[in-house]
Amino acid sequence: MNRHMVKWLMVIAFFIFPLSGYAHSGNSAVPVFGPNLRVGILTNQHSLEVSADAKFAIVSTGTAKVLGDFAAQEPVTIAVRESGFTVNGRPVEATGLAVVMNKAHSTVYSEQYLYANKRRYRGDLSIQRTIGKPGMTVINTLPVEQYLYGVIKNEISPEWPMEAVKAQAVAARTYALANSNKHTADGFELCATTDCQVYGGRESEAPKAIKAVDATRGLVLTYKGKLISAYFHSSSGGYTENSENVWSAKQPYLRGVADFDQNSPYYTWEEKLTLAELDQAISKAGYNIGYLQAVELSPLSSPPVASFDRGVSGRVKSVYFKGTTGNIQLTGTQLRNMLNLKSTLFDITISKEHPQPAMSVYASKDRKKSHTQLAAGKPTDFVVITGFGWGHGLGLSQWGAKAMAEKAPPGNTEYFKDILKHYYQDVEIKKAY
Ligand SMILES: [Zn+2]
């Protein structure tokens, strides 16, 4: 075995038994950056370009065999073929590949990165065949804390008050740890899209997001000792909702509470469509009710709301459409998806005339009682949907958290806990590691 091979074997051993994220404290290894997460950053890719900031190798993950050595910054094209892969067009037999960098400093603080399609990533990169599809899946393995560095900016502005960004960091960390089995069938733990949390690697980090993650390192939300489903959304429209009224099971910590998002740009919104367009949307969604004759929905009132067809915040649980050839009952979420609405917190009115712009009607930002009504008329009549908030309305409201943080006592660096305990009822904030 020559010296060259010994060196790479050491690098491979480092890859197989990664020390990244661990610092030695006494005799036991303490995971400073938390446990490793396997994030599926790309799926079903036919071809991929990888590189690294230092000399690197492409290694077979099954046999640990080095399939090619490359210089720093050298672009390498990997593609799938019927069996195995190609590396710069040359066929290689392997069940999976790893991009292994010969780092100058083998610590997590190193500013040397791996690249996938020209984006930089911390941690390790590996490539496997996409399960059930013809392409490749690229997996970025890295400690939870470093994963969060690349998540926060996609979920909230790091320029918002620090206590709000810290509250978001704790919610995102809890979400990541509680959902680490979500993509087991795909061969990784979390995906990098809105399906889980949007993760963009080093390119989507920001100094203030890193500061918020570091300031809350290891902190998670628990209820009766278990990680909670830490749902969050942009803006509730004045009041958050009980979980069972949206789409998930009843959770004692996901209760509707007053929100402080009145300065959110999404606090009120309006969608207008003609009756003919609504008829078309209903039929396109597969419901055959002919021409719409009436809409049954109780009028929106101030929360807490106690209507049978609305949740505690006023979010629509069900709405009834009567047509010339049939009737349908839709959930608020079904109607939201059908018409691409920002939330399920809305009123519906039908107007014979061209409606006034939303902001002149709702300039006071107060909820106004509207008509129950709604006998439909001509196809050219307008259906006006007046809504509040953006998102499902469960758990933390980001615009509300921002407003709370703006009013936090100056210098109180624990205020993010007050924010979290407002939006998640009766939870504990604990250090997971
Ligand atoms: Zn996902």
Distance 102 CA to ligand 1 centre (A): 31
First-last CA distance in the chain:
41
pLDDT at residue 13 in the model = 45
Distance 429 CA to ligand 1 centre (A): 25
Q: Cα(384)–Cα(292) distance, rounded to whole angstroms?
A: 15
DSSP codes joined into one string, 77-94: EEEE-SSSEEETTEEE--
pLDDT at residue 106 in the model = 54
Distance 132 CA to ligand 1 centre (A): 16
Distance 192 CA to ligand 1 centre (A): 7
Distance 293 CA to ligand 1 centre (A): 40
Distance 212 CA to ligand 1 centre (A): 23
Q: Annotate 42-78 with b (16+ C-beta within 10 A) or e (fewer).
A: bbebeebebbbbbbbbbbbbeeeebbeebeeeeebeb
Mean pLDDT of 220-245: 97
Most confident of 102-111, 126-135, 271-280, 337-346: 337-346
Distance 193 CA to ligand 1 centre (A): 6
With 90 as the cut, is the pLDDT of residue 208 above it?
A: yes
Amino acid, res. 173: R
With 50 as the cut, is the pLDDT of residue 245 above it?
A: yes
Q: Annotate 175-186 with b (16+ C-beta within 10 A) or e (fewer).
A: bbbbbbebbeeb
Question: What ranges do the domains of the chain cover?
Answer: 3-149, 268-388
With 50 as the cut, is the pLDDT of residue 19 above it?
A: no
Distance 189 CA to ligand 1 centre (A): 8
What is the pLDDT confidence band of residue 83, given thresholds at 50, 70 and 90? confident
Q: Annotate 248-262 with b (16+ C-beta within 10 A) or e (fewer).
A: eeebebbbbbebbbe
* 93 or 420, greater pLDDT: 420
pLDDT at residue 153 in the model = 97
Tally: H helices and E strands in the chain: 10, 26
Beta carbons within 8 Å of 233's beta carbon, 6+ residues apart: 389, 390, 391, 392, 393, 394, 395, 396, 397, 398
Distance 157 CA to ligand 1 centre (A): 22
Q: What is the per-residue pLDDT across 335-386, written as a single tens digit (0 to 9) for each?
A: 999 999 999 999 998 877 655 443 323 323 333 333 344 566 677 788 999 9
Q: What is the per-residue pLDDT across 30-39, written as a single tens digit (0 to 9) for each?
A: 468 999 999 9
Distance 183 CA to ligand 1 centre (A): 7
For 22, 25, 37, 89, 430, the CA distances from 28, given in Å and listed in that order, are 10, 6, 21, 45, 21
Distance 203 CA to ligand 1 centre (A): 20
Mean pLDDT of 63-76: 96
Tell me the sheet residues that pair with 218: none
Residues constituting the chain: 433
* 7 or 221, greater pLDDT: 221
Mean pLDDT of 27-52: 87
Distance 366 CA to ligand 1 centre (A): 37
Mean pLDDT of 387-396: 97
* 248 or 124, greater pLDDT: 124
Distance 181 CA to ligand 1 centre (A): 10
Distance 68 CA to ligand 1 centre (A): 32
Instruction: Give the 3-state secondary structure of residue 331.
Output: strand
Taking a C-beta distance cutoff of 8 angstroms, is the pair 231, 398 a contact?
Answer: no
Q: Cα(317)–Cα(326) distance, rounded to whole angstroms?
A: 21
Distance 116 CA to ligand 1 centre (A): 19
What is the pLDDT confidence band of residue 416, given thresholds at 50, 70 and 90? very high
Q: Cα(231)–Cα(249) distance, rounded to whole angstroms?
A: 13
Mean pLDDT of 191-215: 96
Distance 175 CA to ligand 1 centre (A): 11
pLDDT at residue 369 in the model = 38
- Sequence-distant contacts of 87-94: CB under 8 A, at least 24 apart: 87/58, 92/58, 92/60, 92/67, 93/60, 94/60, 94/61, 94/62, 94/63, 94/65, 94/67
Distance 303 CA to ligand 1 centre (A): 33
pLDDT at residue 247 in the model = 78
Say what angle helices 162-178 and 415-423 make with each other, to 10 degrees: 50
Distance 151 CA to ligand 1 centre (A): 13
Distance 377 CA to ligand 1 centre (A): 44
Distance 168 CA to ligand 1 centre (A): 18
Distance 40 CA to ligand 1 centre (A): 8
| Widest distance between CA atoms in the chain | 86
Residue 81: is it exposed, middle or buried by C-beta count within 10 angstroms (0-12/13-18/19+)?
exposed
Distance 83 CA to ligand 1 centre (A): 27
For tokens 């008329």, name the residue.
377
Distance 395 CA to ligand 1 centre (A): 19
Cis before 379? omega within 30:
no
Distance 170 CA to ligand 1 centre (A): 19
Distance 288 CA to ligand 1 centre (A): 34
What is the pLDDT confidence band of residue 324, given thresholds at 50, 70 and 90? very high
Q: What is the per-residue pLDDT across 123-180, written as a single tens digit (0 to 9) for each?
A: 999 999 998 888 999 999 999 999 999 999 999 999 999 999 999 999 999 999 999 9
Mean pLDDT of the chain: 88
Distance 191 CA to ligand 1 centre (A): 4
Distance 39 CA to ligand 1 centre (A): 9
Q: What is the reported pTM?
A: 0.86
pLDDT at residue 349 in the model = 87
Distance 182 CA to ligand 1 centre (A): 7
Of 300, 37, 62, give the one whose Cα is nearest residue 147: 37
Distance 398 CA to ligand 1 centre (A): 21
pLDDT at residue 104 in the model = 67
pLDDT at residue 178 in the model = 96
